[in-house]
Amino acid sequence: MPVYVALLRAVNVGGTGTLPMAELKGICEELGFGHVRTYIQSGNVVFLSDESEKVVGEKLDEALAKKFGKKPGVMIRNRNELQTIVDEAPFRDAKPNFLLVNFLPDMAPADALEHMVAPDGEEAVISGHEIYVHYPIGSGKSKLKLPALKAGTSRNLNTVRKLAEMAAAMEDGS
């Protein structure tokens, strides 16, 4: 059975609303997802499902819309996709908490970086449905402007690594 990781947009960080992870786990279980595990408070959940990425994403987004009154946006990646995102992360010398992976609902537009304003030396790389951004002074202090990121949700490389480990362990039956 495929292992998926769902990354919720704007949950518990301002924007959509507050969602305790125990409640997120319950919602996922009600949708029929198996072996549901959450990670930290920013809306990360790992689970099993026989359904496609598209279907599980739509089901979860719809269920969350009932709670919040609007769809928050759910990015789904399978276990292999998430591992590839970790393995192919650029900026090898960056501190992992200063390298954010921005998960997008669709392929990043080819011109996504053309409108980037990076006053603090930020660097970005497009890779399929993700945009990696290195924030030399940290994302909290950064004045980066990159409109292509608005539709997605970001996680630092430490979080992405942990989610990939959780997904691998779930796939291995651990």
pLDDT along the chain (174 residues), means of 10: 93 66 94 96 93 96 91 94 97 96 95 95 97 96 95 96 97 80
Alpha-helix runs per DSSP H in the chain: 21-30, 53-68, 79-87, 157-171
CATH of residue 42's domain is: 3.30.70.1280
Tell me, yes or no, whether 47 and 89 share the same domain: no
What is the reported pTM? Answer: 0.93
9 and 77 co-located in one domain: yes
Yes or no: say if 8 and 72 are a contact pair by the CB < 8 Å rule: yes
Res 150: pLDDT = 92
The residue segments making up the domain with residue 65 are: 3-81
Domain co-membership, 94 together with 139: yes
For residue 69, what pLDDT is reported?
87
CA angle 18, 52, 103 (to 5 degrees): 50
Residues 77 and 116 in one domain: no
At 20 the pLDDT is 86
Residue 16 has a pLDDT of: 56
Residues 76 and 88 in one domain: no
155 DSSP assignment: E
Strands in 3-8's sheet, in edge-to-edge order, are 34-39, 44-48, 3-8, 74-78
The reply to whether 64 and 98 lie within a common domain is: no
DSSP 8-class letter at 28? H
Q: Which of 81, 97, 127 is the last residue of a domain?
A: 81
For the chain, the domain total comes to 2
64 and 103 housed in the same domain: no
